[in-house]
Amino acid sequence: MFGAFRATNALSGGLLWKTPWRLSRFQKARQRQRLRAVDSVVATIDQALAKKGETLKALDVWKETMPTEAEMLPKDKYTIFDRKEKRYRKGIHSRSLPFEYFGFAMDRNNANPAISPLCRTTEMDESFTTIEPAGLLNN
């Protein structure tokens, strides 16, 4: 088409909405940081329970089955399983998962993430509130 209404590069297959097939080094660094944060949470909960002399079956199963960030292969760090893909793996940057998948629920009133599925809030008095793990780590 010619003239005022000709097709632009973005409309005819440009890079406007396409995601690159490879993660940048900054995206990989953020992903490794997220994985280390998960390892840190698991270690903190394990240390706190060990200090009390308690254990959780779910936490023990997690530690047995899930590798730490340092033990993971790059394939597992930066891709997820997808049965529709040709080689059954999809890059983590191309996924469109709901916010609730990551353990958060959106508070519709003020649009702040609430940590409701994974944690429960305990109010001891007006000035002190604690957040404790719930759901996944219950015996």
Q: Which domain holds residue 29?
A: 20-94
- Asked whether residue 102 falls in the same domain as residue 122, the answer is yes
Rg (CA), the chain: 21
- Asked whether residue 90 falls in the same domain as residue 105, the answer is no
Percent of the chain at pLDDT > 70 equals 53
Q: How confident is the model at residue 115, as a pLDDT?
A: 41
What's CA 58's distance to the chain center, in Å?
A: 19
Spatial separation of the C-alpha atoms in residues 63 and 57, rounded to whole Å? 10
pTM metric for this prediction: 0.57
Average pLDDT score over the chain = 74
Q: In total, how many domains does the chain have?
A: 2
Q: How confident is the model at residue 7, as a pLDDT?
A: 62
DSSP code for 63? H
Q: How confident is the model at residue 98, as a pLDDT?
A: 46
| Largest interatomic CA distance in the chain | 77
Spatial separation of the C-alpha atoms in residues 22 and 43, rounded to whole Å? 31
What is the per-residue pLDDT across 81-131, written as a single tens digit (0 to 9) for each? Answer: 889 888 888 888 765 554 444 444 444 444 444 444 444 445 555 555 555
